[in-house]
Structures are given as structure tokens and as C-alpha cells.
Structure 1
């Protein structure tokens, strides 16, 4: 079971890392003028940990064919276990002592990173961290007791007061471990600096990828809305997909002063006319869109993955020389927002 839950956490993490990357990265550039490699890794680890908590406390979700039979099979879980330290009896006298021990040990391990992150990344005190650990543990236990807040007709996991104890204790242990580790680990936050340097290839490329990622996430959300309203139309789905794409990749850059889509804006990037101060004109933004990313949108519509890959490689090779194909043909350069806005 643990292997399955770990796989679920690893699958969930990239999605939520992308989803959370925009506000996180934008805030990093606003506060520090950059995103440090180590601080970015710490943030990604925090997201992975959050996904692990969800995966290990709620999944796998059981299938229900007959609600009455399901509730009869899980009748013992409808009554919470409220006797403190009852799990010790299972470890000492139970039929499956190893499994009982692993359950208690795993509760410590699952919540220890919470205490560590609260101390290491957010500088919280021990009391504050313990209260947060207890609150999160209570949320998890009540979610299980209520059958995921009514999504299931009855609980399929046990509300156990020992879980509250071990989870909270695990949070305290993680906090205590963070104290000596902070003396050898780098700071969880980068040192501030003015964001005036020309952005590198990685930052520019990541901004473009985030633009496409926002399109994909927004399109996925739109498809969910269509499904909720029972609009089962391929034409409506395609129209929504490409409307959102054009808004993310052209509409927003035309409206924004920095001429950036949502992904590039999160990295505090701006589009300027080459050799001139200030943002690029709307005409140059449109020309840039015709060169990049419109060809990728067309190839995506035509379902030509090989051509998409080849075009991406061509853009990358030219970008390695210093300026992208889109920049050369549209007469634009990617700079930081601080340069364009004069601050």
C-alpha cells in the first residue's frame, strides 16, 4: 500500500509544482530579484511533501458498488478510537505487531517534515509548529471520520486519537531536528539583489514553458466546467481550448504593459524593442506571436509531435547564440520587468 501511495504523491507533485510555480516564482523575484536554486528545491520539496500527506492519508480511494454493503464492511470504522496509547497494546500484544509498529512509526515520519519546514523555512517556534501539526492532524482525522466530508456514505479509515498524538509528536521531532540542521544547510531563502541583469536562457525558456503550462491548466479547468454542465461537444471543447490559448499567448501580452504572458510575467520578464527603452509595441508583440508560439499551436492542432520537437530544437539552437528566432524577426529582446518599468 505504501508503494501505491508514494506513486500517487509523485504523480501529483509535478502538477501542483507547476500550478504553484507562478505565484511562488513571482514572489521570489519581487522580494529577492531572483530564484535561488536551493530555495527553489526547498519549495519543490515542500510541495512534494504536501502531496505525500494527501496521498498517504486519503488514498487509495475505495470503489463503491453497493453503499449499504460497503458500510457494513467498514462498520467498525464508524466509531472513533478515543483511548490514548491504545496502539501500544497492538505493538506489545497484537497479532500483527510489526504492522502495528510500522503504523505508529510512519505517523512520526509523515509529520516530521512539517515541523522541519516550519522551523527551517518559516522560522516558526516550537509551540506554533506543534499547534499547526495538531490542527493538520485533526483535519486529516475528521476527513477520514466523515468519509471525506460526505463524499463517501461512511468512513473507510479509522479516526484514532493515537494518530493525533504521534502526528503531533512527529511535528515536534521534525522541528527539533531542524535546529542543528539549520547550522549546516544553506538558507531557505536567497539573498536580495536588483533584478537588472539580462535574463539567461533558462529563465527565458522556463517563462515560455510556463505560458504553455498555464494554457494547459486553464484548458483542463475549462474541460471540467464543460463536463459539469454536461456539454459533450468536441467543437465546444476545441473552441474553448484554442480561445484560452490565444488569450494566454497573445491577448494578455497585448494588454499587459510588460508584454508578457502569465508564465513569463511570473518570472518578471518583459518584452522590449531591441536597442530602445520601454516595452515593445503591440505590432512587434503580434509579429513575435506569429513566429513563436503560433507555429507550436498549429502543430499541436495538427497532432504533429515530431514537427513540434524539431521546431523546439531549432528555436533552442538559435537561442543559444544569444537571441531567439522570434526576437530576431520581431526586433524584440527579453529583459526583466525592472528594466522596462524603470525600477
Structure 2
């Protein structure tokens, strides 16, 4: 029986890095928007919660049938709707003798009892997380635990929502009861746990965001969001054969709009940062220098290379330009790495323009 639990747990750990990769982007956005920075303790807790939820889900659905065209189970009913039926199962299967306390240890080796204990323990961490991290009251914990258990049962009884031709596990009302009891047990245990761990709602006390450095991760995320917005517009302009589409959108978006919003773009707004110049309000000249160097120099050089290839300029010119562009981009990459690993250094376009990022 232990082996049947070890496989889903090991599979959860194996697939966790993939899930964490997809989880990271929304996690960063939410944390930057809500708290203004990334707290390492909060991050550890949330990734632990993700790992726990993966373990719980895999324990419920694994192992899967060999094929989606599985055969129906030969049973009279797919549902067990009698509450506390597990008590009868334990009594029927147990070798425990009530008048002999020494035999009670046998319960730890009996399938029916262990199944109940597993169902209780499955949602204990869920209740702990709900109270300790999410700060919910007992009523919300009760309904959330019941809701999660119901989701597990529906997932099983529908063959993972129709993926399989027939269900491969039963719906059991006792699972709802024991899972929910486990969630509430976790809620109660969290009271003791909270006394020995930092309070999540106090993590941001006495925090001065104006003194925190804007990380390159945060800036890269803002850059990604901005270009996710601009790329479809750029494609449309190219298809419409508009003149100088790249230059047009970069000038309008990064210089015009950023000046109008005093240092904000959509990406910077999402992650709660903005550009700051030498004064309270950023100057147009500062933006022209900054984005002129970044997008109208470095950017145009790379865009022109793509245009030259599409338009099949002379081979000798393309070879020479390729070598020159490679050298330029290599120097930029080295410069970026030096700035990343030496926080006292500034990117060349920031140093020349006198601009920097601050948390808004």
C-alpha cells in the first residue's frame, strides 16, 4: 500500500520544476503588484503550497489507466453515499480485539484504517496553509476543504472530466467527510504552528520600498510585458506596409507615452516601477537619450539585420554586417552581465541619460 503512495509523490517532485516554471510569471506579477517586492519567505511558502497541491492531486488521480479507452468497472454502483460507512469496513476487516489494548497496534497495518487516515492527512497541510498563510477563518477553511475534496471526487468519478471513457475510481461520501476533517485538523494545528513561525501578515512591517533596489528580474518582466503588447501592433504595421514601423512604435510608446505618464509604460505599471530622471518629473530629453540608445541604436541595428536578410542585400555586405553586429551584441551582453554582477555599475543608456528605475 505504501508503494501506491510513493509513486504519485515521486512523480509530483519530478514534475514540480515544470509547474514552477509556469507558476513563476503570475507569481512575480502578483507579488510585485500586491506587495511591491518579492519576500523570500513568502515565496518559499507559496512554492511549497504549489508542491503540496501537486502531491495531493497526483495522490488522488494516479495511477492512471493504461489507455483513455479504458473498460468499465464491474460494480453495481460507482458511488458510495452512506456516511461513515468506513467504520463498518474497519470493523469487518480488523483483527483488533476491543478488550485487548495490545492489539490496537494492528490498525496501523490494516487497509481500511490506513485508507481513512490517508484521507484525513491528505488535507491537513491544506488547512494549515489556509489559516497560516491565507489568514482565512474556520468557516472559509471548512468550505474550502469540502470544495477541494469535492473537486477530487468529481475528477475521479468523471474519468478526469471525460478524458477517459469510463471512470476508474469511485465517488465516496466518506472521502468528503475525512478530507474535510483533515482540513479542519490542519486549521487547528496551525494555531500552534503560527506561534513558532514568522507572521505572514507582519512581513512587510517597517518596510521602506523607496530604499529597495529594482532588480533586473523585475525590469526584464516589465520589458517582456511591454513587448507582448507591442509585438502584435508591430506585425500589423508590417503587414500594412507602414513606413518604419519599428521606429514608429518605439518612439510613440517608449518616448511619447512614457513622457506623458511620467516614467510609466504598461509593463512598468504592472510590476510597480517607473523611470526617474534628475528631477521630480522625467524630462523628454532624458527619454530621448535613454531610448534612443537602447531602441534607436541597438534595436535598429538588429532590426535592420532582419530587414537586410529578407531583402537579400549583397552577400558580402551581409557577411560584414553579421560579424559587426555579432561583435556589438557580444559587447552589450558582456556589459549587461557586468552590471548584473556589480550592482554599482549602470547600463550605458542609463548612465548617459541619467535615468533609473524606482518602485512606484
The answer to whether the superposition gives a TM-score over 0.5 is yes
* 2:80 match: secondary structure: coil
Quick one: structure 1 residues 9 and 76, their matched pair in 2 at CA, closer, same or farther if it must change by over 3 Å? farther
Contact 2:49 2:129 in 1 (8 A): yes
CA RMSD of aligned residues (A): 4.4
Ranked by relative contact order (alpha carbons within 8 Å, sequence separation 6 or more), the top structure is: 1
Contact 1:143 1:149 in 2 (8 A): yes
Aligned twin of 1:155: 167
1:178 deviates by: 0.6
Structure 2: segments with no counterpart, 5+ residues: 1-6, 95-107, 240-245, 307-321
Q: Among residues 200, 208, 212, which one is paired with 1:199 in the alignment?
A: 212
Aligned twin of 1:28: 35
Counterparts of residues 51-62 of structure 1 (less than 5 Å)? 51-58=54-61, 62=65
Higher deviation after alignment, 101-110 or 324-333? 101-110
Q: Which has the larger radius of gyration?
A: 2
Quick one: structure 1 residues 6 and 44, their matched pair in 2 at CA, closer, same or farther if it must change by over 3 Å? closer
Quick one: structure 1 residues 50 and 266, their matched pair in 2 at CA, closer, same or farther if it must change by over 3 Å? farther
Taking the aligned partners of 2:210 and 2:64, their CA distance within structure 1 comes to 49
Aligned twin of 1:278: 281
Aligned twin of 1:232: none
Quick one: structure 1 residues 36 and 77, their matched pair in 2 at CA, closer, same or farther if it must change by over 3 Å? farther
Taking the aligned partners of 1:26 and 1:132, their CA distance within structure 2 comes to 25
Aligned twin of 2:191: 179
Quick one: structure 1 residues 152 and 327, their matched pair in 2 at CA, closer, same or farther if it must change by over 3 Å? same
Structure 1: segments with no counterpart, 5+ residues: 223-234, 240-244, 338-343
Quick one: structure 1 residues 312 and 153, their matched pair in 2 at CA, closer, same or farther if it must change by over 3 Å? farther
Quick one: structure 1 residues 315 and 322, their matched pair in 2 at CA, closer, same or farther if it must change by over 3 Å? closer
Q: Is residue 71 of structure 1 aligned with residue 71 of structure 2?
A: yes
Counterparts of residues 1-343 of structure 1 (less than 5 Å)? 1-2=7-8, 3-29=10-36, 34-58=37-61, 62=65, 64=67, 67=69, 70-72=70-72, 74=73, 76=75, 79-87=78-86, 89=89, 93=93, 103-189=115-201, 190-192=203-205, 195=208, 197-200=210-213, 203-211=214-222, 255=257, 257=261, 259=263, 264-273=268-277, 275-279=278-282, 281=284, 282-287=287-292, 289-290=294-295, 310=334, 312-317=336-341, 319-337=342-360
1:27 deviates by: 0.9
Higher deviation after alignment, 260-269 or 170-179? 260-269
1:75 deviates by: 5.0
* 2:171 match: secondary structure: coil
Taking the aligned partners of 2:220 and 2:80, their CA distance within structure 1 comes to 49
Normalised by the length of structure 1, the TM-score is 0.68
* 2:22 match: secondary structure: helix
Contact 2:226 2:265 in 1 (8 A): no
Quick one: structure 1 residues 155 and 261, their matched pair in 2 at CA, closer, same or farther if it must change by over 3 Å? farther
Normalised by the length of structure 2, the TM-score is 0.65
1:188 deviates by: 0.7
Count, aligned residues = 297
Contact 1:110 1:167 in 2 (8 A): yes
Taking the aligned partners of 2:131 and 2:141, their CA distance within structure 1 comes to 8
Taking the aligned partners of 1:326 and 1:86, their CA distance within structure 2 comes to 71
1:179 deviates by: 0.5
Contact 2:81 2:172 in 1 (8 A): yes
Deviations 1:180-201 (A, max 9, x none): 111121111223457552432x
Taking the aligned partners of 1:252 and 1:102, their CA distance within structure 2 comes to 62
Quick one: structure 1 residues 186 and 145, their matched pair in 2 at CA, closer, same or farther if it must change by over 3 Å? same
Taking the aligned partners of 1:150 and 1:253, their CA distance within structure 2 comes to 48
Taking the aligned partners of 1:263 and 1:286, their CA distance within structure 2 comes to 15
1:271 deviates by: 1.1
